[in-house]
Amino acid sequence: MSFPRHRPRRLRSSPAMRRLAAQTSLEPRHLVLPMFVADGIGEPQPIGSMPGVVQHNRDSLRKAAEAAVASGVGGLMLFGVPRDEDKDAVGSVGTDPDGILNVALRDLAADLGDATVLMADTCLDEFTDHGHCGVLAPNGSVDNDTTNDRYVEMAIAQANSGAHVVAPSGMMDGQVAAIRDGLDGAGHTDVVILAYAAKFASGFYGPFREAVSSSLEGDRRTYQQDAGNAREAMREVALDLEEGADIIMVKPAMAYLDLIRAAADVSPVPVAAYQVSGEYSMISAAAANGWIDLHTVVLETLTGIRRAGADIVLSYWAADVAEWLA
């Protein structure tokens, strides 16, 4: 069938016409800024593999968070980086009320209140001396149920510190149900669970491990998903929805756009996607070499993630993009 009188180019004839006919929007409210706060540093520390991103101290975190919120970003996702000497086998500092993540959450909750959505990474990998996302069994594997118990403690500590959203990212079976029961039992019935429902064992996480000073040796393939397993990913999504996830996440984003779309097609709750550290660093490096235009490619990739079905996008460019779009 042909339509000889139809010319799509008419709808591209000017910026105003393109704006009017746009089918996918990218707005600051769609974006969440991941931020790192480290214990025991006097000044913000640049992350070598992530140009422009730093480990904040508490003071610089507060200033950067305030600026990001003023730019209009939808939320902040906070990761804590303890001192090496404070790490142990069960990630005790992650549940310690005086641990760096919980102290920083209280700082931002006091400063920002409900002006933003304050999110916390609910995982043990930054806090364990072995770098895995959970408690290890005697044979060296990650103990699923013992780890879930620790996640419950961590989620309650984060909620007590002012987090609006807890984000279990360890891919333990049953983690969402365990955390929901724990939060409800502690009186935090309004705290949202953002579940990393489909998190893949990806090569794109390398720079993040520098950002959190990870102690990991080996890999996480026994609990994160295989890149080729789409049906398994959708099973994980379904399980997290059944357990009461308020938001589900696909991570990484750009190599998994098909799964973002598939999740969006079935999810009754918002779908998030994480443009991860390796994606950030890859684009940054190409732009630094003059091979691509940074603004154009960042906006194109984020729009593509939104077009695939993500309601929320975590990106290290969130605050920058909010200013570009102003």
Positions annotated as catalytic residues are 199, 251
Radius of gyration of the chain, Cα coordinates, nearest whole angstrom: 20
DSSP class of residue 226 equals P
For the chain, give the number of residues: 326
Per DSSP (E only), the strands in the chain are 31-38, 45-46, 54-56, 75-81, 117-122, 165-168, 192-199, 247-251, 271-275, 312-315
Beta-strand relationship, 75-81 and 54-56: unpaired
Q: How many angstroms separate the CA atoms of 136 and 215, rounded? A: 14
CA-based torsion, 77, 36, 249, 163: positive or negative: negative
Kindly write down the DSSP assignment for every residue of 104-145, as one continuous string: HHHHHHHHHTTSSEEEEEE-STTTBSS--SSPBPTTSSB-HH
